[in-house]
Amino acid sequence: AEQYEALRRLAFVSTAAWTLGAESKALKFAANAAFAAVQRHVAQFDERAWNYNSNLNVYLLLLSLTDSRGSLAEAAGEGAEGDGPSSEVATAVLLAMRLYYGCLYFQSGLSKVLLSGPAWADGRTLRGSWAELGNRAGKWLSRRPVTVAAAASAATLAFELLFPAAQIALRKHPRAVGLSSLAFHASIKATMGISFWHHSVHALPLFVLDPGAERHTARLLRAFRKR
């Protein structure tokens, strides 16, 4: 228990310092290593769900490849040459994170197809989940005709399997992609009380928020550092 708490504190402090603009390879390594060690402890709580939050480790590792000081310097009006991140690297990291975000949906849809086949979309699994896990809205839906659950199941399967393709088709409209993700999770939250916030929250910086919002956040962080 002591080791777990110490690792949690190290992960929090290192990522917080990184967020506030402290950039160094040692700090990034500490953040990645500490968070991975924390995740290892979490996975041991239920070994069947060892990869439950592995997307967070991947995001943290990808962020290590670029330099956030460019945003902080720009927000402060500094922008000294050589201090900012490579735009090519930053763009590649953003695209990789977006693609990985979509692949998580594809993985979920593929597992349904491989384990249950097309029969997963007949509505029985979702209606049973609404009945067992659902809140008031979910339990009400579980008492509707099975065709309602079948339509929702088919829509879920299509959303998950086609999300990566939709990213490519709508690459000029990333906000629409992100909003569809948020709406998908909002519907799950509204019927079963499951938010998947640790995944869906990333739709905001990856797809929905524009660079102006990022620069405003950087200014706030810069102001906090100067206190």
pTM of the model: 0.78
Q: What is the pLDDT of residue 80?
A: 43
- Other C-beta atoms within 10 Å of 196: how many? 13
Separation CA 138–CA 188 (nearest Å): 9
pLDDT tens, residue order, the chain (227 aa): 899 999 999 999 999 988 887 878 999 999 999 999 998 888 887 766 656 678 888 999 998 988 766 554 454 454 444 445 567 888 888 899 999 999 999 999 999 999 999 899 999 999 999 999 999 999 999 999 999 999 999 999 999 999 999 999 999 999 999 999 999 999 999 999 988 888 899 999 899 988 666 667 666 766 666 66
Residue position matching structure tokens 């100067």: 226
Separation CA 85–CA 92 (nearest Å): 12
Q: What is the pLDDT of residue 118?
A: 87
**String of DSSP letters for 43-63:** HHH-GGGTTTTHHHHHHHHHH
